[in-house]
Every structure is written in C-alpha cells, then in structure tokens.
A and B are shown apart, each in its own frame.
Chain A
Amino acid sequence: MQKVNFYDEIKRNKVLSWFLLIFSVVFTALFIWVISIAFGLDAYIMLIIAIVIAFLTSYLSYINSDKIAIAMAKAFPADDVKYRHLNNMVEGLAIASGIPKPKVYIMPSPEINAFATGKDPKHAVVCVTKGALEQLTDSELEGVLAHELSHIKHYDIRYVTIATVVVGLVSILSQILLRSLWFRGSDDRNGNAIFLIIGIALAIISPIILRLVYFAISRKREFMADAGSVEITRNPKGLISALRKIEQFYKLNKKTLVSKSTAPMYISDPYAIMAKAFSTHPPLEERIKKLEQM
C-alpha cells in the first residue's frame, strides 16, 4: 500500500484552512476597493455593512456547522444502550486512529450514507443513516465509519466548512455588486467605467472559480479519506463492498433525503450518482479501483 504521511496531510489541511481564510479577507478587501472606486462613497458604506453581516453569518454558521448539519439531516443521537454495537464500533475505530470518540448520530432515512462534521476532532460528530445500519455488514459499516473518522482526523471538516463559507461569502458579495448595478444611476460614467467592468467580471467569475477550486480539492480529500479508512481498518474490502452497495441503492431508488447543500459532506454524493452531475466526489468506479490496489 502506498504509504502516505498523514501527519503532513493534517498539517497541510490546517495551513490551507488558514490560507483560505486569509484569502477571503484579502479578496473582500479588494472587492471593497474596486466597488468604492466604481461606485463612489455611499455604496462603499452600504457594502461595508453588507460585508459585516456576511462575515457574521459565515462565522456563526462555521461555529454551529455540526448543529446545522444534524438539524438538516433530522438526525438523533445514537443512544449508547440501544445502539451499543454501533457505538462500540465507532469507539474501536477512534482508538485505532488516535482521536477522541466522536458523538454518534443516526439519520432516519432508508438510504445508505454517512457524514461527519464538527470543527475539530474534539468536537466531532459522525452520523449514519438507518439504511446503512440495516443493509451494511459490520465490515462494510466499519469501512464507512473509518472513512468519516479519517475526515475528522485530517481536519477535512474544518477545511470544507471554511471553504463552503468562503464560497458563500464571495457569492453574496457578487450578488450585492450585481444588484447594486441596478440601482446605480447614470451619474458616474468616466474612468470609473473600467473599474465597473472589472467589478462585474470579478463578480461573475469568482464564485465559479472558487467553486471549481473547492470541488477539485474535495475530490483529492475523498481519495485521502478512502486511504485513511484502509489505514485504520487494514482492510479495503469492507469499504469497497459498501461503496458498491451505496451505488446500487441510489441507482435503484433515485430518492434521497440529503439536501443539495450538505451533500458534499456525505461519504457518497447521491446527486452525483443519480444525475451524473459534476460533484465533489470522484466517481465510485475510480474510488473502488484505487482501493483495490491497496
């Protein structure tokens, strides 16, 4: 098995998270600058207020990302007595990966899926669907859980959450810019026109670029989490079998309770399988091929 240095992966994720945060601050400042030149002072003030609000909501959603994800999935805590075996499995895998045992939740849906959330390993949550509990064998379930624990251990969650927030922030700012164009009269026409064009171009392109970057990095992370799962369980067969079952289920049932906004956080993006849309997850065949090489 290709030995990947996971210590470096963790460090890289933490560094990239900070980088992305700083990028968002710098980008926003640039945005303000361009807008203020293109529009004049009063739009500047309006924009500042809007940005403060955007930052506040972004920060709040980051801090509460786990509660939000759980609420959207309508998940309930997996009681330690009723779901003893599940809790034991999570605990064993957490011991093997050297992180504290995350809280365990269950999503009441017949589909087979799972996700993890929380801003760091100490505040982590792992959630499986009822369907996963019912249809996966122990070995398959362990593969899936280990994949999620891998995400937690590598600080993927933090990175993905920040990236989502930044993408959201840039989208909001772009919307503000494009909307304020409507209200702007024909007052300032001169050299400001150039900055206006730059502003508009930025507004349209940046959300797209950021989204592409976010997707690209997500795909690499999914492969890493698959590798991480095998590192913990020392057995790729469980995860391979689980991924096949997941694909089967979605191809057959074409129904999911997973919302589009949180889909990237799950082990398998149901919308990707059902609609073959461009997704945050690499195609299942590719993932299985890589796993079989381990």
Chain B
Amino acid sequence: MIGIILIILAVIVIFVFIGLYNRIIELENRIDNAASQIDVQLKKRADLVPNLVETVKGYAAHEKGILERVTELRTQLMKAKDIQTKTKVGNQLQEALKSIFAVAENYPNLKANENFLHLQQELSDIEDKIAYARQFFNDSVLAFNNLVEKFPGNIVAKMMNRTEKNYLEIPESDKEPVKVKF
C-alpha cells in the first residue's frame, strides 16, 4: 500500500519537474525572441537614415554636420557586434535623429515635404515599437525571474544552472513625459 502511494508521489514529482523545466526553457526562449525583436526594430530605424539624409540635404544643405554624424553613427551601428556597443551607438543615433527633427523646424519647406513628413511619422512609429519591444523584453525577464526565484521553480532552476536575468535599462531620454498630440 505504502509502495503504491510512494510510486504515485514519485510520478507526480517527475511530472511537476518536467513541467517546470519546460516552462523555464519556454520563458528563456521568449526573452531571446524579445531581444531579437528589439534588434529588428533598431535595424529598421537605422535603415531609414540614408533616405532621411537625402531628403534633408535637399533643403538644409548647410546642416552638413548633423547629417554626417547620423550617417557615421549608422555605419558604426552596422559594424557593432556586442549588445553593449549596439545599445550605446543606438542611443546616440536616437539623439542625433532628434536633433535633425529639431533643426528641421527652421526649414518650413522641408517641413512641408511629403517624404520628410512620411519619414518623420515612420521614425516616430518605430520609436514606439522599440519602446514596446523593450517593454516586452522586461516583462519576459520578470516572468522568468519570478519562476526561477520562487519555490519550487528555484530548485529546478538550480539544477539547470539558471539564475535571474537582468532587465534592460531604458535610456534616460526615453523617460521624458509622453508627447502630447494637439
């Protein structure tokens, strides 16, 4: 009688273990997926740079400085391999793009240009997507950390040699208040 109970208990434990193991893998994969999602959006943003530079050049030729900087940053970004460099250069590119749009305020013809407006909206939308992708990444890290730190997940995690992952830090400039649309 005791034997049967023990066997049933053992089976239950095995199933719970398998469930937790799989869930840890699943959440880990979700984090990887989230990271690559961010990369995809960052790349899309960088890819719009040449088009933007061409459009602005036509109207604001003597803003060469900022245009060159933006092109330079894009090249750096394409060469970057590790996540730290990518993040750092990516943030610098974001700042530079903001400067371009600030400068564009002085050129009413540029501001009326359809292509420019389209690029402006597109870049703004991509920034939103980057923000959402980062949010999803951090949500995934939270779910993973919860599972791996709480009981009984922590036991399985120890066996799998997994510990908590780090959150993404949002760049300071992103912490501005939400833009108001009139």
Interface string of B113-142 (1 = CB under 8 A from A): 000000001100110110111011001100
> Are A98 and B181 in contact (CB-based, < 8 A)?
no
- Range, interface on chain B: 20 to 34
CA A98 – CA B37 in complex, angstroms?
10
Nearest B residue to A88, CB-CB? B125
List chain A residues, Cβ under 8 A from B178: 139, 235
> Are A93 and B132 in contact (CB-based, < 8 A)?
yes
24 contacts between A and B (CB under 8 A): A84-B121, A84-B125, A88-B122, A88-B125, A88-B126, A88-B128, A88-B129, A89-B125, A89-B128, A91-B129, A92-B128, A95-B41, A95-B132, A95-B133, A96-B135, A97-B136, A98-B30, A98-B34, A98-B139, A98-B140, A138-B181, A139-B181, A234-B135, A235-B178
Interface residues of chain A: helix, strand, loop or mixed (majority): helix
> Are A137 and B181 in contact (CB-based, < 8 A)?
yes
Nearest A residue to B182, CB-CB? A137
Nearest A residue to B34, CB-CB? A98
B contact set with A: CB distance below 8 Å: 30, 34, 37, 41, 121-122, 125-126, 128-129, 131-133, 135-136, 139-140, 143, 178, 181
CA A89 – CA B181 in complex, angstroms?
15
Contacts of A70-97 to chain B: CB distance below 8 A:
84-85, 88-89, 91-93, 95-97
List chain B residues, Cβ under 8 A from A88: 122, 125-126, 128-129
CA A7 – CA B178 in complex, angstroms?
29
> Are B121 and A96 in contact (CB-based, < 8 A)?
no
Q: Which of B126, B136, B181 has the most CB of A within 10 A?
A: B136
- Range, interface on chain A: 10 to 19
A contact set with B: CB distance below 8 Å: 7, 84-85, 88-89, 91-93, 95-98, 137-139, 234-235
From known contacts A88-B128, A137-B181, A138-B181, infer whether A96 and B136 are also in contact, taking CB-CB under 8 Å.
Answer: yes
List chain A residues, Cβ under 8 A from B30: 98
List chain A residues, Cβ under 8 A from B34: 98
CB distance from A58 to the nearest CB of B (A): 33
State the 7 A-B residue pairs at the shortest beta-carbon distance, nearest first.
A88-B125, A96-B132, A92-B129, A92-B132, A95-B132, A92-B128, A95-B133
Select one of A7, A93, A95 contacting B37, CB under 8 A: A95
CA A95 – CA B34 in complex, angstroms?
8
List chain A residues, Cβ under 8 A from B133: 95-96
Question: A88-B125, A95-B37 given. 10 additional CB < 8 A pairs?
Answer: A88-B129, A89-B128, A92-B125, A92-B128, A92-B132, A95-B129, A97-B136, A98-B34, A137-B181, A138-B181
